[in-house]
Structure 1
Amino acid sequence: MVLAGILSGCGNGDSLERFDGPTMGSRYSIQYVRHASTPGPKAVQAEVENILADVDRQFSTYRSDSDIERFNNLPANHCQKMPAPILELIRVGEQLSSQSDGSYDLTVEPLLNLWGFGPQAREEKVPSAEALAEVQQRVGHRHLRIDGDQLCKDAAVEVDFNSIAAGYAVDTIAARLEALGIHDYLAEATGELKAVGKKLDGSPWRIALEEPRDDQQVAERVIAVDGYGVSTSGDYRNYFEQGGRRYSHTFDARTGTPVLHTLASVTVIHPSALMADGLSTLLLILGPERGWDYAQTHDIAAFFVIRADTGFVTRTNQAFERLAGEKTE
């Protein structure tokens, strides 16, 4: 996802502030309209980076001292005291797992590692049936349990929050910006974003949705957003090929294998960036038919990009068109 629009000054003393930096193996960026009563970019950036540091300490699967990796390294039938945000996201993951009949699941890290996509991966390859069956015994939200402020497991499961952690970070940043008196902003982390209010010239924030191509970024659709999170999940960049077949990093936890359908990417608009993040992944896992039916049943604003013989075709539902505002194609 790329951001579109050049902002101009209004001559009333207000200004547009921007800053960015590294986070979660990618980058974050903040744009906000500064008024006389709102803080400057250095102070705001410090607040944002404190939030991102907390997210990294709690959710990162790429550092051994994070809260979730210490839990992942525990054997079966153990518990660990966890900060409230981790327990919150475990509950969100349980909800999404239940609603997708187990296709979406937070405990897929062993599968990611086995297929070559995870933090402990060694080689991208199709695993043996025996190795897959062994790992599948350690996958499933049913193996997790919250007991007070502790997270417990009855199998050697490993939790991976990559499908919702960035959305949670964006929501947390947005709440902090609002507390600082900033009400016109676009906050983005690793491609998940939330846009609220207006740009400096009074026009809406515009977001360019990207056509899934490996060689370059092409704007498929430009939408106007105010007060919503936007998330795009796709399988078109992180994949490998073996034996003439294409294997992506998007997994159906029920089968333990990468999805093989024709849905290339899904964009979701939702009041919560966290839920937009999780739902875009869930719909991508379910595919062009099951995912579409799920979005319609749950009134989820969704934009589907589907592979076809001639390239890509797009499909949007009424909920998406209602929230996307003006459009430019």
Structure 2
Amino acid sequence: MPGKAGKGDGVRRLVRSVVSGLSAAPAAPKSRLLALAAALPLLAACQPDVVQLSGPTMGSSYHISYVRASGTPEPEAVQAEIRRQLDQLDAAVSTYRNDSDLARFNAAPAGTCQPMPPMALELARSAKQLAADSEGAYDVTLLPVLDAWKFGPKAAREKAQQKATGTSDAPAAGSDKSLTVDQLMAQSGAPKQPSPPPARPSLDADTLASLRAHTGMGHLKIIGDRLCKDAPITVEFNSIAAGYIIDRLAERFANQGIHDYLIEVTGEIRAAGEKPGGHPWLIAIEAPLDHDRKAQRLIRLKDEAISTSGDYRNYREENGRRYSHLIDPRTLSPIEHTLAAATVVTPEAMRADGLSTLLMVLGPERGYDYAVRHKLAALLVSRTPQGFQTRTTPAFDARFPAPTAP
């Protein structure tokens, strides 16, 4: 991904799945989106026609709610298919296991062409297209840069070791408490928070030059069923992999006769149809607070996907400076602007996933201009001395004209 610590690798969004305003069990840290779905024991008692499935994936978790209709498979069969799809994706493109197809490609020297499974090729094509449309702000060859800035897989493994030995000095993450609908509504708004100091590069020019020789989307080629590289690049798809698998699961659900559902994987969300009784799927967009969770806006999601990227939960501090995990491919350094979070709503989850990252890299002005030019439904939140400032695009305002209540 373009400078994001991976979804399972340093998960960038945190989600709660709750239905009807009931509190849910905590999920692994990941996002700015809160999916309002339900706790399992209560769900079974009050809405037997809604099935809830969940489990671990990509270093985080997935939560799925769907309305079970006549003729649809047993929940056990649905969950088995979900697990099969997730396992296939992991085997194809994980950067945290040495035996994945992508790990073998990354370990190969420049000049390599390697046959790849369809999942990896589809992700590569989408990444290449997004990079071509991104004004240079999207790049999936930044693994060595992420490691250099201590946000990549190597840094994640070191953090895990430090945590296991009790020697970690990483800043505390935000609260993992669940929020009910009433709490979300009471806390919605744009709470103030002091602006953090901007990042300042701490890598020397020689290091940056060396990293540049090992990055660049132009070095990644797709030839038939093979992925090729003409430079010693390494690839990761963390900025679009969760969105991709959500879209795959949505296709499977359609084939199985499941038409009303909410799918959340590591914080990426796609919803279709409605909950029983014609009630909408409600999504709370979080305010970009470092150590707290407050809803900034509630929206009704139907037959579309939503993704939020931000720099406020995944960062590191060094010598009094704060470094975002989001890397600008054009500078190979952490982003240095006031945009704190970018939310995008599109029909497909993978596109929303990638675009939210792209807008974060572009920043408050260029990101907004890009979203308007491409007619994206986007919500951007920037830091100012007075607090957070929210900007929405015309497409977002047309789709979500005002904050909604459950």
State the TM-score bracket (shorter-chain normalisation).
over 0.9
The verdict on how the C-alpha distance between 1:254 and 1:46 changes in structure 2, with shifts beyond 3 A counting, is same
Q: Report the AA paired with residue 136 of structure 1.
A: R
Match of 2:339 among 239, 252, 263: 263
Q: Does 1:254 align with 2:330?
A: yes
Q: Which residue of 1 aligns with 2:261?
A: 185
1:174-213, CA deviations, whole angstroms, 9 ceiling, x for partnerless residues?
Answer: 1111111000000010000100000012111110111111
Q: Give the Å deviation of 1:6.
A: 5.9
Whether the 8 Å contact between 1:79 and 1:150 is mirrored in structure 2 is: yes
The verdict on how the C-alpha distance between 1:324 and 1:174 changes in structure 2, with shifts beyond 3 A counting, is farther
Q: Which residue of 2 aligns with 1:204?
A: 280
1:54-101, CA deviations, whole angstroms, 9 ceiling, x for partnerless residues?
Answer: 111111111111111110111111111011221222121112212222
CA distance in 1 between partners of 2:134 and 2:322 (Å)? 24
Match of 1:15 among 49, 63, 70: 49
1:113-162, CA deviations, whole angstroms, 9 ceiling, x for partnerless residues?
Answer: 11100012369993332112101111111101111111110111001100
Q: Which residue of 2 aligns with 1:73?
A: 107
CA distance in 2 between partners of 1:128 and 1:317 (Å)? 38
Q: Give the Å deviation of 1:244.
A: 3.0
Q: Does 1:242 align with 2:318?
A: yes
Q: Does 1:280 align with 2:389?
A: no
Q: Which residue of 1 aligns with 2:148?
A: 114
Match of 2:119 among 85, 90, 101: 85
Task: Note the residue ranges of structure 1 that are not aligned, 5 or more in a row.
Answer: none
CA distance in 1 between partners of 2:382 and 2:248 (Å)? 32
Q: Which residue of 2 aligns with 1:131?
A: 207
3-state SS in 2 of match to 1:76: coil
CA distance in 2 between partners of 1:22 and 1:126 (Å)? 35
Whether the 8 Å contact between 1:223 and 1:325 is mirrored in structure 2 is: no
Q: Give the Å deviation of 1:14.
A: 6.5
Match of 1:31 among 41, 65, 68: 65
1:203-252, CA deviations, whole angstroms, 9 ceiling, x for partnerless residues?
Answer: 11110111111222111100001110111111111111223322111111
Whether the 8 Å contact between 1:16 and 1:34 is mirrored in structure 2 is: yes
Same amino acid, percent of matched pairs: 50
CA distance in 1 between partners of 2:314 and 2:205 (Å)? 23
3-state SS in 1 of match to 2:297: strand
Match of 2:217 among 141, 158, 163: 141
Whether the 8 Å contact between 1:303 and 1:315 is mirrored in structure 2 is: yes
Whether the 8 Å contact between 2:242 and 2:350 is mirrored in structure 1 is: yes
The alignment's C-alpha RMSD in Å is 2.1
CA distance in 2 between partners of 1:168 and 1:132 (Å)? 31
Q: Give the Å deviation of 1:326.
A: 6.2
CA distance in 2 between partners of 1:324 and 1:229 (Å)? 14
1:31-66, CA deviations, whole angstroms, 9 ceiling, x for partnerless residues?
Answer: 000122222321111111111111111111111111
Q: Which residue of 1 aligns with 2:296?
A: 220
Q: Report the AA paired with residue 116 of structure 2.
A: M
CA distance in 1 between partners of 2:220 and 2:37 (Å)? 44
Whether the 8 Å contact between 1:233 and 1:265 is mirrored in structure 2 is: yes
Give the TM-score taking structure 1 as reference length. Answer: 0.94
Match of 1:98 among 124, 132, 136: 132
1:271-297, CA deviations, whole angstroms, 9 ceiling, x for partnerless residues?
Answer: 110000000000010000010000000
Whether the 8 Å contact between 1:229 and 1:276 is mirrored in structure 2 is: yes
Deviates more, 1:169-178 or 1:238-247: 238-247
Q: Give the Å deviation of 1:5.
A: 5.3
Q: Does 1:3 align with 2:35?
A: yes
Match runs of 1:49-64 below 5 Å? 49-64=83-98
Q: Which residue of 2 aligns with 1:289?
A: 365
CA distance in 1 between partners of 2:145 and 2:93 (Å)? 18
| Over 4 Å off, 4+ runs | 5-9, 122-125
CA distance in 2 between partners of 1:120 and 1:129 (Å)? 22
Whether the 8 Å contact between 1:224 and 1:325 is mirrored in structure 2 is: no
CA distance in 1 between partners of 2:103 and 2:286 (Å)? 33
Q: Which has the higher contact order (CA 8 A, sep 6+)?
A: 2
1:243-262, CA deviations, whole angstroms, 9 ceiling, x for partnerless residues?
Answer: 33221111111110010101
CA distance in 2 between partners of 1:241 and 1:108 (Å)? 21
Q: Give the Å deviation of 1:327.
A: 2.8
CA distance in 2 between partners of 1:34 and 1:188 (Å)? 17
Task: Note the residue ranges of structure 2 that are not aligned, 5 or more in a row.
Answer: 1-32, 160-169, 171-200
Q: Report the AA paired with residue 96 of structure 2.
A: Y
Q: Report the AA paired with residue 276 of structure 1.
A: A
Whether the 8 Å contact between 2:37 and 2:65 is mirrored in structure 1 is: no
Whether the 8 Å contact between 2:300 and 2:404 is mirrored in structure 1 is: no
